[in-house]
């Protein structure tokens, strides 16, 4: 399975801040950003690079530049991870994908999508809560149909159901996450999880 859990002490530290139900939105947002830095480092380990000569103040030496990278934030919770990606890769192209569950069919329904040209890009999909996997699987399909070649999903918390679904639908996609939790409850929340990521980020509880 193409699945990496980050067990760095800082990842665990910030995950704990996110899990704590007493963490207020402003602290929650900074912790989400800090945790995402640790995921981005792992997720970008195999990015294609160009090599070119660079003049240091002392002499010419080898320089490197990462090629075309794009990030797609799955609305709305993926926005909580975007600033970290922009900090680390300022040249990143950014897309947004909004999906909601149809109340009658329970199938994912697109309500917004704006993607940059992904034909040459390595794509990071920002989907913090991998619960049933429906939204992420849909977002990956959307990104693939725009021509993306190397796709990595960045998640804060994952559930077994979501990881299984992704692996079945898109076995080529690498998942990088901070946690693999026990299960989903009857309302499709991840347990123990951290609650509703969007509500906690934006104070809409
Ligand atoms: N989305 C969330 O924000 N939290 C969950 O636990 C599951 C899906």
**pLDDT string in tens for the chain (205-residue length):** 699 999 999 999 999 999 999 999 999 999 999 999 999 999 999 999 999 999 999 999 999 999 999 999 999 999 999 999 999 999 999 999 999 877 677 678 999 999 999 998 999 999 999 999 999 999 999 999 999 979 999 999 999 999 999 999 999 999 999 999 999 999 999 999 999 999 999 999 8
The catalytic residue among 83, 101, 149, 169 is 101
Percent with pLDDT over 90 in the chain:
92
Per-residue model confidence (pLDDT) at position 106: 65
d(CA 35, CA 58): 37
pTM of structure: 0.96
pLDDT tens-place string over residues 108-147: 899 999 999 999 899 999 999 999 999 999 999 999 999 9
Residue owning tokens 């996110």: 18
Known catalytic residue at 199: yes
The CB of 197 under 6 Å from ligand 1? The reply is yes
Known catalytic residue at 105: yes
d(CA 85, CA 87): 5
Q: Give the position, in ligand 1's atom list, of the atom nearest the Cα of 190.
A: 6
- Quick one: tokens of 198? 């969007």
The CB of 190 under 6 Å from ligand 1? The reply is yes
**Whole-number mean pLDDT of the chain?**
96
- Quick one: tokens of 87? 């900090």
Residue owning tokens 């067990």: 7
The catalytic residue among 105, 132, 149, 182 is 105
* CA of residue 139 to ligand 1 center, whole Å: 16
DSSP conformation letters of 3-56: EEE---HHHHHHHHHHH-TT--HHHHHHHHHHHHHHHHHHHTTT--EEEEEEE-
Known catalytic residue at 101: yes
Per-residue model confidence (pLDDT) at position 149: 79
d(CA 178, CA 151): 18
Known catalytic residue at 158: no
């Amino acid at each position: 399975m193409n699945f990496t859990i980050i067990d760095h002490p800082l990842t665990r530290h910030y995950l704990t801040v996110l899990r704590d139900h007493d963490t207020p939105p402003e602290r929650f947002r900074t912790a989400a950003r800090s945790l995402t830095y640790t995921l981005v480092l792992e997720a970008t380990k195999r990015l294609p690079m160009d090599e070119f000569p660079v003049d240091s103040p002392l002499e010419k030496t080898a320089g490197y530049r990462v090629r075309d990278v794009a990030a797609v934030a799955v609305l709305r919770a993926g926005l909580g991870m975007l600033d970290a990606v922009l900090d680390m890769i300022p040249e990143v192209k950014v897309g947004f994908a909004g999906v909601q569950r149809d109340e009658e069919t329970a199938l994912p329904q697109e309500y917004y999508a704006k993607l940059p040209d992904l034909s040459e890009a390595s794509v990071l999909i920002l989907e913090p809560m991998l619960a049933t996997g429906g939204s992420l699987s849909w977002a990956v399909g959307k990104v693939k149909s725009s021509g993306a070649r190397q796709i990595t999903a960045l998640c804060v918390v994952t559930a077994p159901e979501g990881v299984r679904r992704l692996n079945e639908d898109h076995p080529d996609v690498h998942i990088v996450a901070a946690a693999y939790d026990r299960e989903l409850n009857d309302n499709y929340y991840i347990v123990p999880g951290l609650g509703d990521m969007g509500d906690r980020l934006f104070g809409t509880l």
